[in-house]
Amino acid sequence: MQQNLNKLFSLLLAAVCGLLCMSFMPSGKIKPRPGRHTAPAPLKLPQGFTVHTIIDSSAKARDIVVTPQGLIYVKLSRPKNGKAILVLKEGPDGKATITGGFGNYNGTGLYLKNGYLYASSNEAVFRYQLNDKNEVIHPEKPETVISGLKMGRQHETKSIVLDNDGNIYVNIGSPLNSCQEKDRQPGSLGIPGCPLLDSAGGIWQFSADKLNQSYPEGTRYATGLRNVVGMDWNRQNNTLFVMQHGRDQLHDIFPDLYTQKQSAELPAECMYMIKKGDNAGFPFTYYDPFLKKNIQAPEYGGDGKKEGSPEYISPVVAFPAHLAPNGLLFYTGNQFPEKYRNGAFVAFHGSWNRTPEKQEGFMVAFVPFKDGKPSGDWEVFANGFAGVPEVLSPRQAKHRPCGLAQGSDGALYVTDDVKGTIYKIEYKK
C-alpha cells in the first residue's frame, strides 16, 4: 500500500513537473498578421471591426483626447522624461510619433472643450489655451482652474469632464476603502457618519472658466461615490454618467459574513446616472448585483442581507465586481454601425480583488443606449488586452485598458497604462 502510494506520488510529481515545464514554454503565441499598415493588435472584436496599435509609448498612458485635426494628447500617470502630457501625430502608415510633451505632474484627467485642453494633477485642474488648430499655445504656462483638492494615498486621481453650460465636474475619490476607523483592518468598523464625505467621495462641480477655485467655489454635485475614474457627459439627455470603483475586501475585513468567493463577486461595479444632489450610498451601502439591491455595508451594521436606506440611488448598469472601470465614453461618431450610436463604451482596467478566483476585466465593454438610458444588456466589445488566456494576478496582464477617446472620423482609441500602447479600433464596411 505504502509503496503504491509512493509510486502514485512519483507519478503525480512527474505529471506536475511536466505541466510546469510546459507552462514555461511560450504557448499558443498569436502570430502578428502582416497588415498593410502597422502591427495589428491581437484583440477580439465584433465582426467588421479592425484594430491596430498606433504606438507603444512605454509610459503609463491614462486619459486620451483626439482633436478634430487628428492631434492626440495623452495624459501619463507619472511624467516620463519630465513630461506628463504627450502630443502624438498619426502618420499615413497608421503609426503615431511623439511630436511634443509638456506638464510635469502626476494625474489622469484630460478633456478638450471650448478652445482649452483641461488636465488634472492629483490635487488640481489646469487648462491650456489652444490655437485654431487645437495646438497648445503656451505648454509651460497653464492656468490653474482648481487647486487644493483632497488627495489620499488611494483613489488620488481626479477625473474631469465638462458639460455644455460652462461647468467642469471633478471626481474626488475617498482616501479610504470603506471609511473604516482603521483602513482595511479586519473587523474595524466605519467612522460614524463618514465625515470625509464633506471633501471627498463624490463629484464636485466648478466653473470651467474661473481661475483659482477650490472647495469654497465648488459644489458637491453628488456624494456617496467611492471613487470614479471613468465619466462622461451624455449629450442626449444632458446628464453626467459615472463609473464607480466598488469597495474591496469584504471577506478580508469581515470573514464571518463573507466567503472569499462572495468577496470576489461583490459588490457590482456600477454605472450611475448622476443628477445634482444624488447620493450613491458609499460607504454606508454597496450594490449587490445578485440581490439587485443596495445592501448595508458591514462597517455600518450590515450583515450581508440588510437593505440600505431608500434615499440612495441605484445604478443604471451593474457590471461584475472589481473589474475597475477606468474609461467611459458615449459614442457619437458615425463610423461604427447604428447600434453603437450614443451607446457607452467602458474600459475596464481589470481586477485584483477576485483572488482566489481568476482576475477579470482587461477589456472594453459596450452598453447600448437610447435617449440617455441603457436599452439592452452590456456586452464585451474588445477583449484580449491581457495577452494571456487567464490572469491570476494582475501583473500577468500585458496590457490594461484605461482611457477612451473618439477620433473625428469616429474611430475609437484605447490607452493602456502597462506598456503605454494606444489602440485604434475602426469599422470598415
Partner 1 sequence: MHFTGSVGRATDNAIIHPMKKILVFSCLLCCIAPVHAQTKKAYTAKKVVPATSPVETLKRGKVLYQKFCISCHQVDGGGVPNLNPPIVGTSRIAGKKAPLIKVILNGMQERVEIDGEFYSNNMPPFKTLTDQQVADVLTYIRKSFGNTGTGITKTEVTMVRSGKIK
- State which residue, 5 or 310, has the beta carbon closest to partner 1: 5
Which among 257, 267, 253 is positioned nearest to 351, based on CA atoms? 267
Site pattern 133..162 for partner 1 (x: CB under 8 A):
--------------------xxxx------
4 binds partner 1 (CB under 8 A): no
Q: Is the dihedral of CA 97, 102, 107, 111 positive or negative?
A: negative
- Shortest Å distance, C-beta 84 to partner 1: 15
Q: Indicate whether 13 belongs to the interface with partner 1 (CB under 8 A).
A: yes
Does residue 186 bind partner 1 (CB under 8 A)? yes
For residue 16, the tally of other CB atoms under 10 A from its CB is: 10
- Identify which range of 85-93, 183-191, 325-333, 334-342 contacts partner 1 by CB under 8 A: 183-191
Number of residues that bind partner 1 (CB under 8 A): 44
Q: Residues 237-266: x/- map of binding to partner 1 (CB under 8 A)? A: -----------xx-xx----------x---
Stretch that binds partner 1, among 86-94, 189-197, 298-306, 349-357 (CB under 8 A): 349-357
According to the binding rule CB under 8 A, does residue 185 interact with partner 1?
yes
The residue (of 215 and 352) whose beta carbon lies closer to partner 1 is 352
Gyration radius of the chain over CA positions: 23
Q: Which three cell numbers stand for residue 363?
A: 477589456
CB of 380 to partner 1, least distance (A): 21
Mention every residue, 6+ apart, whose C-beta is less than 8 A from residue 211: 143, 144, 145
Q: Which of 4, 23, 81, 131 binds partner 1 (CB under 8 A)?
A: 23
Least distance (Å) from partner 1 to the CB of residue 395?
4
Burial degree of 155 (CB within 10 A; 0-12, 13-18, 19+): buried
6 part of the interface to partner 1, by CB under 8 A? yes
Distances in Å between the alpha carbon of 258 and those of 126, 164, 248, 267?
A: 43, 44, 12, 11
395 binds partner 1 (CB under 8 A): yes
Within positions 33 to 92, which residues make up the interface with partner 1, using CB under 8 A? Answer: 60, 77
Residues that bind partner 1 (CB under 8 A): 6, 9-10, 12-13, 16-17, 19-20, 22-24, 60, 77, 153-156, 177, 182-186, 248-249, 251-252, 263, 352-353, 355-356, 358, 388-390, 392-396, 400, 418
